[in-house]
Amino acid sequence: MGFLTGVVILAVVVAVALAAGWLFRAMMVAILPAGAGRTLRTAPPAAGFGMLVILLYILVALFAPLIAPFGEREIVGPEFLPWGDTHLLGTDNLGRDMLSRLVYAARNTIGIAFVTTALAFLIGSVLGILAALTGGWLDQLLARAVDVLMAIPALIFALLLLTIVGTSIVNMILVIALIDSTRVFRLARAVSMNIVVMDYMEAARLRGEGTWHLIVREILPNAMAPLVAEFGLRFCFVFLTISALSFLGLGIQPPTADWGAMVRDTATLISFGDVTPLLPAGAIALLTVSVNFVVDWQLHRASGLKE
Amino acid sequence: MPHVLRMIAQRLALGLVTLFVVSIIIFLGTELLPGDFAQQMLGQAATPETVAALRERLGLNDPMLVRYVDWLTDILRGDFGVSLANGQPVADLIGRRLVNTLSLALYAAAISVPLSLALGILAALFRNTLFDRFVNASALTSISFPEFFVAYILIFLFAGAGGMFPSMASLRGDPGLGEYLHRAFLPALTLTLVTTAYMMRMTRAAIINLLASPYIEMARLKGISPMRIILRHALPNALAPIINVIALNLAYLITGVVVVEVVFVYPGLGQLIVDSVTARDMPVVQGVALLFAGAYVLLNLTADVLATLSNPRLMHRR
């Protein structure tokens, strides 16, 4: 009986999500100019739902102080209050308002993950394109170095580096950006390898353009599509890694609100049948699922598959 | 056969080189650690004389290259140094936990590998049906879930008040096999759920890729049943990518245990490395990281070799 109810609830949730995605897509098609609208019309409802969720997350992150009823670090009552009127989702292990911290964490966690991914992309794609462009010993050196770095499992490597430099937000951003830039490097190099042999590259070289011009004006625009899709996937990985590290107590440090750390702080409640710890964890999962849905659609579109 | 042997030897050599470079990176960890290693071991209260004596005893005054060779030979002999936190030999700390971690990974693999193969074959058989879509969507979803989310959902469902399984997988009192399987069920199930989806998707993709080839069409025209086409005709040719993905996922299991062990308070290597990172206990972190990296490199190596062995075209290349 419990299992059946679960299946029914799940089916209803999925149906509502798809309907919301469909509605959102219809709305966006109506609002946006014709060109963008036509592309959006091809999006499956799952991708529409993904875009809607991402938009909501961004809005919550931007307007966190307006939405949250209490301060991020403010202790407003006794510990582990149950859900109620003043504190909609109760309080955490130090008596801070759960809902407010969930809202502020959107800002912290997503912001930090975004900065990290952007940094990884900056390092990885510039080096990758440079390697493909210049070739020779620089290319070989970078490619072999990346091969070796990728032979160490990412989480273990991150733990090792964090032991060396100590745990802080800046260190974590640098460490994860460094590790993830190896993956970006691989892709950027592979994509640019096919571009550097093109005729227009030859023409640009003969015109006497500098390396920077070649990278930014000739290669980058043509390598953009796979790199953008990869950005979405990388963001998910980075986001999950940061959450995992924070959950382990090695990432974003208290009192800064963060979803991974919030799961850890409230974890004891779960054995009493309280779902509160699942909320921040679910917030992480919902965002990564949504990004994956959108990326899946983009990859599908880029590959030109009709079926 | 000699060709295959040469190939395996080449891959092994490459793996050894990788391990060697990895060991250098891990060794550099101590070098880059800010502050003096001997000072850290003895604490701030130590007199300069005792620090100097310890530096001499540990060989910290030797050149870096000498220290690296010493460190590596010690590790090859099974001596991982001494923990900074409690002065115990790192090998003793690792020993029992290594067995625990390996058995947890094995437990999860024993469930997830057959399960994902079966589901992948079924999804390929019933492709583009509701079943296939459901399996695909749940695969995409479970890939994007953090491990601790899955773990806490399972605890919520199965370990609450009057639950069937314990939420803390402590191995105190040396449980027997049956008792172990019961206590470690939830961590193993978490790892299964996290890895099954990906393996299943790849199995499905590998089989579907082949279904368009002429020899499958021929088999279909002969009137062979769809199940037989997939099992007898498509599966053997799809083995190489499937084996590859399974080995990669086993490698993932090795590192994926870290978070899961912490959630379930399971006494394994993951728990140990997290505690040691917090305490900045470098020798322990180095030892565990070396083990994890070694297992990872080894599994990737196995994947390559097995994928070649399963493909006659690669075996008899001239």
Phi and psi, residue B174, nearest 5°: 45, 75
Q: Which two tokens stand for residue B259?
A: 């978070």
In a domain, B4, yes or no: no
Domain with residue B163: its CATH number is 1.10.3720.10
Q: Between chains, do B29 and A284 touch, taking CB under 8 Å as contact? A: no
Q: Between chains, do A288 and B145 touch, taking CB under 8 Å as contact? A: yes
Find which of A152, A253, A274, A299 to mutate to test the B interface (most B CBs within 10 Å of its CB): A152
Asked if B242 and B117 count as a contact pair (C-beta separation under 8 A), the reply is yes
At B108, is the secondary structure helix, strand, or coil? helix
Nearest to B27 by CA among B55, B65, B58, B68: B68
Q: Between chains, do B148 and A244 touch, taking CB under 8 Å as contact? A: yes
pLDDT in tens, B225-240: 888 888 888 888 888 8
Indicate the average pLDDT of chain A: 85
In a domain, A74, yes or no: no
Predicted local distance difference test score (pLDDT) of residue A181: 94
A2 vs B: CB within 8 A: no
Q: Which residues of A touch B153 (CB under 8 A)?
A: 278
Q: Which residues of B touch A260 (CB under 8 A)?
A: 146, 148
Percent of chain B with pLDDT over 90: 3
A78 vs B: CB within 8 A: no
DSSP per residue, B247-264: HHHHHHHHHHHHHHHHHT
Confidence of residue A307 (pLDDT cuts 50, 70, 90): very low
Predicted local distance difference test score (pLDDT) of residue A306: 41
Q: Which two tokens stand for residue A48?
A: 């529409």
At A91, is the secondary structure helix, strand, or coil? strand
Predicted local distance difference test score (pLDDT) of residue B160: 65
Q: For residue B196, count other CB atoms closer than 10 A to its CB.
A: 24
pLDDT in tens, A197-210: 889 988 998 998 88
Confidence of residue A239 (pLDDT cuts 50, 70, 90): very high
Predicted local distance difference test score (pLDDT) of residue A298: 82
Give how many domains chain B has, as a whole number: 2
A3 vs B: CB within 8 A: no
CA distances B185 to B4, B27, B100, B194, Å, are 40, 36, 13, 14
Confidence of residue A284 (pLDDT cuts 50, 70, 90): very high
- Residues B166 and B292 placed together within one structural domain of the fold: yes
In a domain, B5, yes or no: no
Predicted local distance difference test score (pLDDT) of residue A124: 93
Region B121-125 average pLDDT:
86
User: From the CA of B124, how many Å to the nearest CA of chain A?
Assistant: 15
In a domain, B272, yes or no: yes
- Residues B257 and B214 placed together within one structural domain of the fold: yes
- Residues B117 and B241 placed together within one structural domain of the fold: yes
Q: Between B171 and B122, whose confidence is greater?
A: B122
Q: For residue A136, count other CB atoms closer than 10 A to its CB.
A: 8
- Residues B36 and B167 placed together within one structural domain of the fold: no
User: From the CA of B118, how many Å to the nearest CA of chain A?
Assistant: 22
- Residues B140 and B278 placed together within one structural domain of the fold: yes
Supply the range of the domain harboring residue A154: 106-303
In a domain, B81, yes or no: no
> What count of CB pairs under 8 Å joins A to B?
137
In a domain, A116, yes or no: yes
User: From the CA of A171, how many Å to the nearest CA of chain B?
Assistant: 14
The residues near A192 (Cβ < 8 Å, ≥ 6 apart) are A128, A129, A132, A133, A219, A223
In a domain, A275, yes or no: yes
Phi and psi, residue A147, nearest 5°: -55, -45
pLDDT at B300 over 80: yes
In a domain, B23, yes or no: yes
Residues 265-294 of chain A whose Cβ lies under 8 A from any Cβ of chain B: 267, 270-273, 275, 277-278, 281-282, 284-285, 288-289, 291-293
- Residues B292 and B161 placed together within one structural domain of the fold: yes
For tokens 């309907």, the residue is: A19
Is-above-0.95 flag for pTM? no
Give how many domains chain A has, as a whole number: 1
Q: Which two tokens stand for residue A52?
A: 């809607």
Distance of alpha carbon A240 from the chain centroid: 8
Predicted local distance difference test score (pLDDT) of residue A131: 92
Q: For residue B148, count other CB atoms closer than 10 A to its CB.
A: 26
Confidence of residue B196 (pLDDT cuts 50, 70, 90): confident
Q: Between chains, do A249 and B153 touch, taking CB under 8 Å as contact? A: no
- Residues B196 and B70 placed together within one structural domain of the fold: no
Q: Between B95 and A127, whose confidence is greater?
A: A127
pLDDT at B316 over 80: no
Region B30-39 average pLDDT:
67
User: From the CA of A72, how many Å to the nearest CA of chain B?
Assistant: 23
A175 vs B: CB within 8 A: no
Supply the range of the domain harboring residue B293: 98-315
Region B200-204 average pLDDT:
85
- Residues B152 and B235 placed together within one structural domain of the fold: yes
In a domain, B10, yes or no: no
Domain with residue A112: its CATH number is 1.10.3720.10
pLDDT in tens, A6-64: 778 878 888 888 888 888 888 887 777 777 777 777 778 888 888 999 999 999 999 88
Q: Between chains, do A285 and B143 touch, taking CB under 8 Å as contact? A: no
pLDDT in tens, A175-199: 999 999 999 999 999 999 888 888 9
Confidence of residue B36 (pLDDT cuts 50, 70, 90): low
pLDDT in tens, B76-117: 887 888 787 777 888 888 888 888 888 898 899 999 999 998
- Residues B279 and B145 placed together within one structural domain of the fold: yes
Q: Between chains, do A154 and B33 touch, taking CB under 8 Å as contact? A: no
Predicted local distance difference test score (pLDDT) of residue B173: 67
Region B252-264 average pLDDT:
85
In a domain, B31, yes or no: yes
In a domain, B200, yes or no: yes
Q: Between B56 and B178, whose confidence is greater?
A: B178
Q: Between chains, do A151 and B144 touch, taking CB under 8 Å as contact? A: no
pLDDT in tens, A51-99: 999 999 999 999 888 888 887 777 777 777 777 777 778 787 787 888 8
Search chain B and give the residue with CA nearest A307. Answer: B128
| B29, B144, B259 ranked by CB distance to A292: nearest | B144
The residues near A29 (Cβ < 8 Å, ≥ 6 apart) are A37, A40, A41
- Residues B303 and B188 placed together within one structural domain of the fold: yes
Q: Between chains, do B159 and A271 touch, taking CB under 8 Å as contact? A: yes
User: From the CA of A10, how many Å to the nearest CA of chain B?
Assistant: 12
- Residues B35 and B126 placed together within one structural domain of the fold: no
pLDDT in tens, A204-235: 989 988 888 888 888 888 888 888 888 988 99
Q: Between chains, do B145 and A155 touch, taking CB under 8 Å as contact? A: no
Confidence of residue B221 (pLDDT cuts 50, 70, 90): very high
Which range in A105-114, A225-234, B140-149, B246-255 is most confidently predicted, on average pLDDT?
A: A105-114
pLDDT in tens, A137-186: 999 899 888 888 888 888 888 888 888 887 788 989 999 999 999 999 99
- Residues B110 and B71 placed together within one structural domain of the fold: no
A305 vs B: CB within 8 A: no
